[in-house]
Amino acid sequence: MTNTTHGADAPAPHPGGIEPHLDLDTLLHHTELPETAFSRAVDPIVRKLGEWSSLLWPLLVAIITINVVMRYAFGTGLIEFEELQWHIYAISFLFGLAWILQIDDHVRIDVLSEHFKFRNQCWIELGGILIALLPFIAVVVWFSIPFVNYSFTIHEISEAPGGLTHRWLMKAVLPLSFILLGIATVARLTRVLKALFSKKPASAN
């Protein structure tokens, strides 16, 4: 009997993420969706940007540590450092959204859906992408661009004495990160559609 689960003789996964000997309807949550030409082009870029943004977290910890030491050991602090903390946190979080979606590690309400068959999960995800996620991304991008433009026009700076300048650069992270999230979402949408509507493996029932 051929071992199909573990060991050196286990068959290699199918390039599309679905093993050819498994029925689509038997696959469970977090099994990779089949890839598409668009996802193969987009996902490495999203992944790389996400990895780069994750490198900001050690920098954030270092800045917070320095600011705390300065405040409690020397009785002083820098407004620039305090504002920089918020900015770094926002950049890391916002640019990480697309990466988290791409690797399917975002928060889900799985109390019910995790018990569904894979095909039903795909239908739920398709509805969520088309009805909720893509419209939400479009709204954020639509309203954030004038928000950034206004900040750039008035040369907005921090209201705090000694605060950071060029606040429009920070605000520009919002539309840019959501555009990236939109691209990652479309890539995932193509994978969901392929899982639902492409031909099943030959051994599938």
**Most confident listed range (11-20, 76-85, 142-151):** 142-151
Across residues 9-14, what is the average pLDDT?
Answer: 47
| Banded pLDDT at 32 (limits 50, 70, 90) | low
Q: What is the pLDDT of residue 80?
A: 82
**Residue 165 predicted with pLDDT over 80:** yes
For residue 23, the 8-state DSSP code is -
pLDDT of residue 44: 93
Half-sphere exposure of 67 (CA within 13 A, CB side): 16
Task: Give the global pTM.
Answer: 0.75
Q: Would you place residue 1 in the very low, low, confident or very high pLDDT band (cuts 50, 70, 90)?
A: very low
What is the chain's mean pLDDT, rounded? Answer: 80
pLDDT, position 156: 87
At 162 the pLDDT is 73
Q: What is the pLDDT of residue 175?
A: 95
Q: Give the model's pLDDT for residue 200.
A: 59
Q: Can you tell me the mean pLDDT for 128-155? A: 94
Tell me the mean pLDDT in the region 127-156.
94
Please compute the mean of the pLDDT values over residues 50-71 and round it to a whole number.
89
d(CA 80, CA 48): 29
Residue 72: pLDDT band (50, 70, 90) is confident
User: Would you list the domain boundaries of the chain?
Assistant: 26-103+112-197
**pLDDT at residue 28 tops 50:** no
Which residues does 34 contact at the CB level (< 8 Å), separation at least 6?
Answer: 16, 17, 18, 191, 194, 195, 198
Does the structure show a pLDDT above 90 at 185?
A: yes
One-letter amino acid of 129: I
CB proximity list for 143: less than 8 A, separation 6 or greater: none
Q: 77-81, 92-96, 176-180, 193-197 — which is least confidently predicted? A: 77-81
Residue type present at position 34? P
> Looking at the predicted structure, is the pLDDT value of residue 58 above 50?
yes
pLDDT-derived band at 104 (thresholds 50, 70, 90) equals confident
